[in-house]
Amino acid sequence: MKVVQFDTFGIAHKVARSVDCPEPEPLCAGEVLVEVEAFPINPVDLLTIAGSYAVRPPLPAVPGSEALGRVIGVGDGVSHVCAGDRILMMSRENWVQYKIIKASEAIRLDVDADPLQLAMLKINPPTAFLMMTRFQELSQGDWLIQNAANSAVGTCLISLARAQGVRTVNVVRRADLMAPLMERGADLVLVDGPDLHERVRAAIGSDRLALGIDAVAGDATGRLAQCLSDGGVVVNYGMLSEMPCAVDPHQIVFRGITLTGFWLVKFLTAMSAEEKASLYGELASRIADGALNTDVEAVYPIEDIARALQHAARPGRGGKIMVTPNGPLPG
- Rounded Cα–Cα distance for residues 244 and 211 (Å): 20
How many residues in the chain? 331
Q: Are 148 and 127 in contact (CB under 8 A)?
A: no
Q: Sheet with 209-214: list strands edge to edge.
A: 188-191, 167-172, 143-147, 209-214, 233-236, 258-261
* CA-atom Rg of the chain in angstroms: 21
- Rounded Cα–Cα distance for residues 263 and 155 (Å): 18
* Angle between helix 305-312 and helix 43-50 axes, rounded to 10 deg: 110
Residues 53, 98, 280, 300: which is the catalytic one? 53
Number of H helices, E strands in the chain: 12, 15
- Rounded Cα–Cα distance for residues 10 and 14 (Å): 7
Q: Are 147 and 211 in contact (CB under 8 A)?
A: no
- Rounded Cα–Cα distance for residues 309 and 307 (Å): 5
For the chain, what is the largest distance between any 2 Cα atoms, rounded to a whole number of angstroms?
64
Buried b (16+ CB within 10 A) or exposed e, 233-259: bbbbbbebbeeebebeeebeeeeebbb
Task: Tell which residue, 150, 134, 131, has the closest CA to residue 212.
Answer: 131
Give bridge partners of residue 33 from the DSSP assignment: 73, 100
Three-state SS at 48: helix
Active site residue 53: yes
Q: Which amino acid is at 58?
A: P
Q: Are 193 and 173 in contact (CB under 8 A)?
A: no
Residues designated catalytic: 53
